A and B are shown apart, each in its own frame.
Chain A
Amino acid sequence: MKKFIITVLGQDRPGIIAAVSKVLLELDYNIEEVSQTILQDQFSCFFIVAGPERISSAQLVKALEEGVSFNLFFQVREFEKQAGLGRERACEPFVVTTRGPDRKGLVAGITAVFAAFEVNVAQLRAVFRGGDEPLNNTMIYEVDIPSSVDQKELRRALSERARELNLEISIQHRNIFEAMNRIL
């Protein structure tokens, strides 16, 4: 049994997932996990699949290119689950949100602080529509902050970076969003 991670990118249109999954089924692959999103009008999707040992990643790309006719980009890499940084450590989930006028370097600026504190980004959604309307320019990071990190120091560093980037920033434990929005 081999595992692959497959990336699919291209112009969005109906039928992409149906076509990709049909090819995978015909080759006897089981889909273990999928994440799909659309950024502006661009389709992007990751599949983790498990299947026959005999097929290489290059053969799988070829089969997808031949079986799916929507002019998409495919990348396939053999995948082994590794003990990854940030996965096994004791962490607390926080949501970091920024709002402020668009400019270059916002994601780079904020994530550099995360990296310095070994804070892992679990989810990132950022929308920059330009202009000065704060709600049109938001970054929402769901992050795991290791328990060993000095939170005061992290807050100070993030606030300082946000000030330099002219952003409003809030750093809140994830539980507050769940408590206020979800019944279960």
Chain B
Amino acid sequence: MLTHGEIISVLEMLKSEHLDLRTVTLGLNLLDCASDDLKRFQDKIYDRITSAGANLVAVCDQVGEKYGIPVVNKRISVSPIGVVAAPFGAEEMVSIAGTLDKAARDSGVDFLGGFSALVEKGMARGDRALIDALPQALAATERVCASINVATTRAGINMDAVMLMGKQIKAASELTADRDGIGCAKLCVFANIPEDVPFMAGAYLGVGERDTVINVGVSGPGVVKKAIDRLLADNPDADLGQITELIKRTAYKVTRAGELIGRAVAEILGVPFGVVDLSLAPTPNVGDSVGEIFQSLGLLSIGVPGSTVALAMLNDAVKKGGAFASSNVGGLSGAFIPVSEDLNISRAVEDGYLCLEKLEAMTSVCSVGLDMVAVPGETSAETIAALIADEMAIGVINKKTTAARIIPVPGKKAGERACFGGLLGESVIMHVNNAKADNPFIRRGGLIPAPIHSLTN
């Protein structure tokens, strides 16, 4: 028999704490669709995606209803197109992005990830074509997400790729200038990208993965915040040891829900279950924010002194609770602090409590990185590349994933607003030091070698 408290606590999480399963992502291996005939290749990938993805949305809705926990986003990730479509040039890559967009739309998913290339050590022909195609591909499609891995702890940092990404981000922003540079919101630059991320824009299916797999991303910042609020209402003198224990237990509950639903979806679809990504992923809604947790913990706002240690504590407790709750943990698994996607974080920027440098410091203790950061339109490609390179260094040296999703907003200055809409949210444009100036260091290019601690064998 269930207890009254067990039932009521689950209902409260659903009714007033925004508990949901943030994403169920179907990973599809497209490697066997390879062809050097563009039409043939496009037909094959379209058929593969739309046939495998045909029931994804309906099954997620059915399972969500059965357990009373909604699956908010249903998505598809595919093998890195830079590899699968290696024979093609940039123009053909743009056309392939169009095919992916149509397949995503016809499958009913809001985003499809995997317009990706892995170039941490060097760029193959297909990778280069894909990167060259990025601005137009992102401008011409709605649902296609791109990710480029430019660094790993084992390979070092490919600074030629970093510089190229600075230029392409500028170009993508200019091609979508009428929507505040939204093209860049669908593009992540990574260090140490995991092969099984279910979250966008970084989702792709690694080449070491199976034909099909279901990966899920749990959420629950609202649940964690409310649990802390309740603890402190009952015991105002609770210390941080007690609070981390509570966060751990709460993360356990949230993760168990995600794993149960993910496995049920996988079973109905006849697809193997992959991993649960234990990330506190916010949305631009009040009560569903990672930033609000900082205030519950007693900080004036995310960004003030104490924020980095608070985030480190939060992130670690979430991982410990989640790791115990799930048999397979993967993906990014850490708190996200995306500026425009979290109402409270974007307000902290507006109120002057959170600057770019503090945000960067915080990314050294969580996932993912400089995420959904709007910067002035005048920021040079070199400065964007330099911001990326700094973030990559944090990942490479600390043997963790970091990413940069930076959006130069054409025609707008620091302090003005950028609006991306929907889940992508809106934000005040952050001030960037030395935004327009020359940066010969970054322009030198080449490969920054792997750090000494990569030699682990």
Contact = CB atoms under 8 A, between A and B. Distances in A.
Interface of A: 95, 97, 99, 123, 125, 135, 138, 140, 142, 151, 155, 168, 170-181
Contact of B10 (A142, A151, A155, A177): A177
A172 B6 CA distance: 13
B1 A170 contact: no
B240 interface: no
9 contacts: A95-B7, A142-B1, A173-B68, A176-B68, A176-B257, A178-B2, A179-B256, A179-B259, A180-B253
B8 A138 contact: yes
A97 B66 CA distance: 14
B390 to A, nearest CB: 40
B4 interface: yes
A97 B1 contact: no
A97 B2 CA distance: 12
B69 interface: yes
B432 interface: no
Nearest to B2: A177
B260 A170 contact: no
B309 interface: no
A181 B253 contact: yes
Given A142-B2, A180-B253, A97 B7 contact: yes
Contact of B68 (A140, A142, A151, A171): A171
Interface string B194-212: 0000000000000000000
A172 B253 CA distance: 16
B11 interface: yes
B67 interface: yes
Q: Tell me the dominant secondary structure on chain B's binding face.
A: helix
Interface in B255-270: 256-257, 259-260
Contacts of A174: 2
Contacts of B457: none
Top 6 A-B pairs, shortest CB-CB distance:
A172-B68, A181-B6, A176-B67, A179-B256, A179-B260, A180-B253
B9 interface: yes
Interface in B144-164: none
Interface string B253-287: 10011011000000000000000000000000000
Q: Tell me the dominant secondary structure on chain A's binding face.
A: strand
B14 interface: yes
B7 A177 contact: yes
B226 to A, nearest CB: 15
B322 to A, nearest CB: 13
B296 to A, nearest CB: 21
A181 B9 contact: yes
B18 to A, nearest CB: 15
A115 B426 CA distance: 51
Contacts of B14: 170
B260 A176 contact: yes
B1 A123 contact: yes
A2 B65 CA distance: 47
A176 B4 contact: no
Contact of B4 (A125, A175, A179): A125
A178 to B, nearest CB: 7
Contact of A170 (B6, B68, B253): B68
A104 B65 CA distance: 29
Contacts of B7: 95, 97, 140, 177
B67 A173 contact: yes
A68 to B, nearest CB: 27
Given A176-B69, A179-B257, A181-B10, 12 more contacts: A95-B2, A123-B1, A135-B8, A168-B15, A172-B67, A173-B66, A176-B10, A176-B67, A176-B68, A176-B260, A177-B7, A180-B256
